[in-house]
Amino acid sequence: AAVANARRAGVQGSPCGQGVWLGGRWYYSTGRYDWDDGTPLSAGEVEASSGEEAVDGGFYMNWDQGQPSAPMGEQGLEQQLYMAVSNGKWHDARVGKHSLAIVCQESVAQATGLLRLEGPLGGQVFSATAGRPLVVSGLEGVGLVAADLLLVADLGKSCGTAPAAVKLGGEGISYPSQDGTSFAWPGYARTVGGLYQLCWCRIKANVTDCRRHTDFLVSAGQLVLSGPLLAQRRRCHSGEECNITLNWPLQAPVVPGLLSVASSCESGAAVVAGFQGGPAISSSADFTWPQLNASGGRHKLCWCSMPNCTGPSDHTAIEVGLIEVDGPYSDNNFTCIEGRICTAAPLRGLALLDGDVARFSRDVGGIAGRLPCGESDGSSSFAQVSLPSTLCGTYINNCTLVWPELLMSVPPGRYGLCWCSGGGPPGSCSAASDFTTNAGELTVISSAAYQ
């Protein structure tokens, strides 16, 4: 009771200080008390109050007894208007005399009903594999129904503004869902692996037909697409082991796959000859061909996920980059005369070096019946090895091959040229099995035509 009495008497201290600032003061310009928004405190001058609430000219006032205390005509001496904490009454005071608190208005929310917002829950994560049909199952949400649609979009922008990932099938837009939770896309997801976002839309007459990426405004989560990065470049040397490691996005787990080398990754394309064993299979990002016999050139790297993948002829294959094979091109053609020195230049190819050699062997019935490079018919005759190549820098990575006159005592005919890299140890280009790379064709004509 003593504390309450002291507070009413204004003795007890308060966390708000002496009082609370009311946002009003005496203004010389108007000659009255006004609120800070310009509204008058009363219709005219205010005389000292008896301490009761009052209404003056329609304006509410609650001055404490004897307030305002400034004499009439000298109200400017006590301009400030505040409410005493002790009793809630109004006082005037000199500016800066008291430390005054302020009062803030707080909005209070009141429940007036329930709103059912239909759509997918955010933050969901789904997985898929590049090169396969894209399917998303188990979408969770409120009121999901058949005919809802999903869009796969690139990250970086919010749904409704992010461009569609058109190479994921159906221009990025799924078929209408059969049950609101499962979605499938036309075609195959033939694009780079990584993170994508899923955006949701429901067709509504006179609102949206869900045909453009700007119609898909609601986020349904993310899609993690497992697959290698695109536009990769690799290099191998003919006659050696070829090892290729594909780069993958950090967010996408590596999955087993098949890597083939072809002129195209479109359905029906044939693999490039000379990659021993055909396409390489790996459960990691590393692929190996133990013996590379391919001719020089630039070819496409085609990847597809296992199982049920056969190579570039498979419609699920994705072009992930290019491989450059160092070695001679397979379409070199030269003509020499029997019994005379034979100079073949320029031997065209990629990264050819001085010291490389070529061999031509027995013509066994023309091109169709010719022995493949690296094989022998058991006869040492007509297996002529050139001198080490020279002038490889003269023709911009092309070389000159020479067979001395002694080696040209061969019957006229068409012979296959097989190449061996001179970069190996001594004696590495001596047996037929060392000459594994097709370098084109050498035609030997009769010397009688030049008598």
Question: Would you state the structure tokens that stand for residue 73, as one six-digit string?
Answer: 């005509």
Location of structure tokens 């305002």:
68
Cα dihedral 371, 373, 376, 380 sign: positive
Fold: same for 119-226 and 232-328: yes
pLDDT band per the 50, 70, 90 thresholds, residue 227: very high
**What residues form DSSP beta bridges with 400?**
390
* Assigned CATH for 333-450: 2.60.40
Q: Which two tokens stand for residue 122?
A: 């955010």
Amino acid at 442: L
Q: Sketch the domain layout of the chain as residue ranges.
A: 2-101, 119-226, 232-328, 333-450
The whole-number pLDDT of residue 8 equals: 44
For residue 229 the two structure tokens come to 């990065």
The enclosing H or E element of 3 equals helix 2-8
Q: Look at residue 186 and tell me whether its pLDDT is greater than 80.
A: yes
- Does 14 or 185 have the greater pLDDT score? 185
User: Of the spans 25-29, 81-85, 235-239, 411-415, which averages the highest pLDDT?
Assistant: 235-239
Q: Which CATH class is domain 119-226?
A: mainly beta
CA distance 80 to 25: 5
Q: Using pLDDT thresholds of 50, 70 and 90, give the confidence band for residue 21.
A: confident
* Interacting residues of 86 by C-beta distance below 8 A, sequence separation 6+: 7, 8, 9, 10, 12, 14
**How much is the average pLDDT of 184-210?**
94
What is the CATH number that goes with domain 232-328?
Answer: 2.60.40
Position 9 scores a pLDDT of 43
What CATH topology corresponds to 2-101?
Answer: Mannose-Binding Protein A; Chain A (3.10.100)
pLDDT for the residue numbered 347: 94
Span 285-310, pLDDT tens digits: 999 999 899 999 999 999 999 887 87
Summarised one tens digit per residue, pLDDT across range 266-291 is 877 888 989 988 899 999 999 999 98
pLDDT tens readout for residues 112-139: 788 899 999 999 999 999 988 999 999 9
User: Which residues in 161-313 belong to E strands, given as ranges?
Assistant: 183-184, 194-201, 218-226, 232-237, 242-245, 257-262, 280-282, 286-289, 297-305
Backbone angles phi, psi at 213, to 5 degrees: -65, -25
pLDDT at 136: 97
| Mean of pLDDT values over 240-251 | 94
